[in-house]
Structures are given as C-alpha cells and as structure tokens.
C-alpha cells in the first residue's frame, strides 16, 4: 500500500501490519493541527517506509507530528517515548484507505459541532481516554 502527500514529494510505503479502519480524535491539539478533526489509522513501525522531505515537530514530551517539508501535508503522529511505537498515519494519503470504516473516536465530548461523528463505533470521552493514556495536561478542549 502506497501513500503520497499532496505534492508527491513524500511517499509512505506500507508493507505489513496495519489496522484497516479509521480512528478519530477531537482533542484540542488535534483540532489545532488539522483545523477540526484528526483522522488516522495505525501501522506497525516495521511496516512503514518513508522517503522524501519530512519535518517532525515534537508536539508534546511524548509525541511527534510529521508533515511534508515541501507542501505541508500532514503525514503522521507517533509516540516517541517507545522505540516500537506504531504510526498513526493520515488515511487521506492512501487511496486504499478511502473506503475504510470509522472504528473508534476519542475525546468525543470535545468535538466541534461541525465535526461530530455519527455511527456505530467505539467512543471515549476525554476523561475516559486520559484515565488510561498519555495526554497533554491543560489541553482544554
């Protein structure tokens, strides 16, 4: 499976384990990064090969967000506190992911009115997610 940024300068090749469903996040940091709603799918690090001009931004003490240095397309978010951390890749980069279903949604209670998602998928509120995962303190959504 191959994905590309808007200008084609960055190519992501996926050869191995990945989740064929989309996850959504409505935390304030993701809202700021994407303009409203972060969508991703998970891929094992050993399955991902990236070529091209990538810029990484440490968005917290434990995670990076990456984008194409040429066109600015968002590429992934990834925990940096674990060497085996999976990639949360942007599904819009991959033609093969365009028909995948929404499988999960976090920070569902923080969704902007224009980005509320309907459907039968797993949801977690801010409190539910933060009770079990790393998060940014004071990320008031």
Q: Which residues are within 8 A (CB) of 110 and not within 5 positions of it... i.e. 6 or more apart?
A: 26, 27, 28, 31, 126, 141
Which two structure tokens, joined as six digits, stand for 95? 């033609």
Other beta carbons within 10 angstroms of residue 4's beta carbon come to 16
Q: What is the pLDDT of residues 31-54, one digit of tens each?
A: 999 999 999 999 999 999 999 999
Give the model's pLDDT for residue 62: 83
Q: What is the pLDDT of residues 50-78, one digit of tens each?
A: 999 999 999 888 889 999 999 999 999 99
Give dist(CA 53, CA 66) in Å, integer. Answer: 10
Q: What is the pLDDT of residues 85-136, one digit of tens each?
A: 899 999 999 999 999 999 999 999 999 999 999 999 999 999 998 888 766 5
Give the model's pLDDT for residue 16: 86
Q: Which residues are within 8 A (CB) of 59 and not within 5 positions of it... i.e. 6 or more apart?
A: 29, 33, 65, 77
Rounded to two decimals, the pTM is 0.89
């Amino acid at each position: 499976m191959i994905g590309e940024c808007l200008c084609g300068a960055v190519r992501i090749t996926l050869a191995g384990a990945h989740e064929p469903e989309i996850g959504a996040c409505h935390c304030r940091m993701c809202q700021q990064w994407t303009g409203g709603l972060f969508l991703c799918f998970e891929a094992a690090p050993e399955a991902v090969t990236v070529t091209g001009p990538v810029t990484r931004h440490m968005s917290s003490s434990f995670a990076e967000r990456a984008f194409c240095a040429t066109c600015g397309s968002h590429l992934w978010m990834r925990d940096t506190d674990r060497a085996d951390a999976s990639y949360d890749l942007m599904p819009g980069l991959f033609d093969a992911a365009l028909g995948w279903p929404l499988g999960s949604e976090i920070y569902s209670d923080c969704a902007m009115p224009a980005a509320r998602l309907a459907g039968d998928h797993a949801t977690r509120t801010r409190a539910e997610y933060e009770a079990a995962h790393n998060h940014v303190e004071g990320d008031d959504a």
